[in-house]
Amino acid sequence: MFDDDVLKVGSNEMELVDFRILKQEEDRIYEGIYGVNVAKVREIIKIPKLTELPGVPEYIEGIFDLRGVVIPVVNLAKWMQIKEPPEENLKPRVVITEFSDILIGFIVHEAKRIRRISWNDIEPASFVAGMGSLDKSQITGVTRIENDEVLLILDLESVVQELGLYQPNVEVDNKIIEEIGGTALVLDDSMTARRLSRDALERMGMRVVEAKDGIEGIQKMNELYGVYGKDLNKELKIIISDVEMPKMDGFHFAANMKDDERFSSIPIIFNSSISDHFSELRGKEAGGEAYLTKFDASVFYKEVSKVIKSHVDTE
């Protein structure tokens, strides 16, 4: 549906679906501007006939069959506890998203356009949005658009977790955990995601250095080089990087690493909730040794061990 293949690896840009949520306050209607990464959007459709489900939260409008796949539909305004204006003011659509291999639909009041934005222009959420119950933990980034308006990038994955549709698979047979040793660098703007990766790597006997985005990741790499010098390639066994991060995304970070002869031979694994095939291809193009969908501990252990072994064998 979306022509996102024009995005070049290492360009540090993303494409967003710009959508609107309207809020009724007395006799006035306010427009909230939101976005979600195009890579997480399958398609945008008119509201289909929904089958209601008993005993579910009010914001779940129901389910419907999309070409043989049953998809739950969440009313974003209700989830955000926003009072909706009358229907005649709305142009509702369902945004069908996919992350961590889960399909879920979100009702929005209007799907506006596709925006291309540099990660440099996206700031981490550092304030309460002031829209219903929405808080900064449910926003992955903030950026300014035309007319000095603010677009909030929503963390729709938090809805999926809240619904219990997705829980990280952290259970694993201890027999598959290999003692590796050395150091690993983990980049992710999510504290929870960093903790999951850190816990897994520490069980492999590794010391973990953490960074919140690609900019901080480069700083950590320079600090490590200052400590280990040319021996860094022996000490730093693996880099685990998210894709979506403010300031500098994972692909751009990886491109920087591969262009720096000090770091170019250190293997990188992308670990992202974006589960589309195109992102996996972009990860390989950026120099990643593997692309994982968050978070299955068994797959994580096996892939990390395989990549590190392969790297050692080629030295």
pLDDT digits over 194-222, tens only? 999 999 999 999 999 999 999 999 999 99
Residues 6+ apart with CB under 8 A from 54: none
The answer on pLDDT for 134 being more than 60 is: no
174-314 homologous superfamily:
Response regulator (3.40.50.2300)
Give 227-257 pLDDT, tens digit per residue. Answer: 999 999 999 999 999 998 888 999 999 999 9
Classified by CATH at the fold level, domain 4-162 comes out as: OB fold (Dihydrolipoamide Acetyltransferase, E2P) (2.40.50)
Is 174-314 in the same CATH topology as 4-162?
Answer: no
d(CA 142, CA 150): 7
pLDDT band per the 50, 70, 90 thresholds, residue 135: low
SS3 assignment, position 47 = coil
d(CA 154, CA 34): 7
pLDDT of amino acid 7: 57
CB pairs under 8 A, 24+ apart, for 189-198? 189/124, 189/140, 189/213, 189/242, 189/244, 189/245, 189/246, 190/242, 193/242, 193/271, 193/294, 193/295, 196/168, 196/170, 196/294, 196/295, 196/297, 197/240, 197/271, 197/295, 197/300
CA angle 178, 284, 219 (to 5 degrees): 75
Query: Domain boundaries in the chain?
Result: 4-162, 174-314
Average pLDDT, integer, range 15-21: 94
pLDDT band per the 50, 70, 90 thresholds, residue 126: low
SS3 assignment, position 5 = helix
The answer on pLDDT for 60 being more than 70 is: yes
Whose CA is closest to 110, among 29, 223, 15?
29
d(CA 184, CA 38): 30
The answer on pLDDT for 5 being more than 90 is: no
The answer on pLDDT for 147 being more than 70 is: yes
d(CA 227, CA 234): 13
Q: Tokens for 212, please give them.
A: 């919140």
Cis peptide before 64 (omega within 30 of 0): no
Q: Which ranges of 157-245 does DSSP label H, i.e. alpha helix?
A: 157-162, 191-203, 214-228, 232-235
Report the percentage of the chain scoring pLDDT > 70: 91
pLDDT of amino acid 3: 47
Average pLDDT, integer, range 133-152: 79
Residues 160/99, Cβ–Cβ less than 8 Å: yes
pLDDT band per the 50, 70, 90 thresholds, residue 131: very low
pLDDT of amino acid 9: 57
